[in-house]
Amino acid sequence: MFKTTGQALHASYLILSEPAIEKSAFRAALIRAMEATPKLTARQGEWLDQLRGTPSGRVNFEGLTMLEIRGQCSLVTSAVDSRLPTAERGVILARFAYGEQKGEGIQALVRFCRRSCGISAFAPVYLLAARHYAPKVRREGLSLRDIAEKHGLSKRAVDTAARWMASHFAALELLAMQRLQAVFLADGLVEEAEDLGTLPATPAPRASSRRAVSRNAKRDAAEEAISA
């Protein structure tokens, strides 16, 4: 039914976000939902073309009942719930899911990155994580300056946290996609493996971490001098 892992995830969460209705009405609802999306990727555009009646080879609904289509989609989302560690599940939900499930994914990411990103307060970390997965056209009031001013933080601290999230969320997404691709290929849910790329480099330690390393080095040097 699905060509690749990314396409399976996007299609499954979108399909399951819609009510179970008759197949032709369901197709029309999907078209409306995708047409309302601010910016479609190339693959999403191909799928929209197919839904409108232009074959793209990305998703094949032919010969399947509405119940069977939703069943295939449920296999995809169940794998996300059962095969991924919490943080990796969080990035998949934040990237592909809708409504409450998307919010659940962002909450998982807040738990993952609080303190490690340099900010410990829940509210600004939640806004930064939500901002990361929001389309640019829906980021009104979510600029880094807006978040910093609203929560009494420096622009630099918020910018550092946003960069930390971008790098670590990308790494989590890649790990999650690699795990899911192996599962989907083995279960016959997707037809082919896609090139998922390599893990991005993670940011250097924060200044506090570097100071700790420096203090340890000085302590070791002093101990060596004393023993000599």
The residue with greater pLDDT, 80 or 193, is 80
Query: What pLDDT, on the 0 to 100 scale, is given for residue 136?
Result: 76
* Domain regions of the chain by residue span: 5-187
- Does residue 175 carry a pLDDT above 90? yes
Q: Is the pLDDT confidence value at 160 over 90? A: yes
pLDDT band at 217, cuts 50/70/90? very low
pLDDT in tens, 96-139: 999 999 999 999 999 999 889 999 999 999 999 999 998 877 77
pLDDT of 162 reads: 96
Q: How confident is the model at residue 39 (pLDDT cuts 50, 70, 90)?
A: low
Q: What is the arithmetic mean of pLDDT over 201-216?
A: 41
Coil, strand or helix: which one is 98? coil
Mean pLDDT of the chain: 79
Confidence band for 41, pLDDT divided at 50, 70 and 90: low
pTM of the predicted structure, to 2 decimals: 0.73
Q: At residue 33, does pLDDT exceed 90?
A: no
pLDDT(1) > 60: yes
CA distance 14 to 99: 11
Q: Which of 10-14, 17-21, 40-44 has the lowest mean pLDDT?
A: 40-44
pLDDT of amino acid 53? 61
| Confidence at residue 205, expressed as pLDDT on a 0 to 100 scale | 37
How much is the pLDDT for 10? Answer: 86
**Confidence bin at 227 (pLDDT 50/70/90):** very low
Predicted local confidence at residue 151, as pLDDT? 95
| 3-state secondary structure labels for all residues of 90-113 | HHHHHHHCCHHHHHHHHHHHHHHH
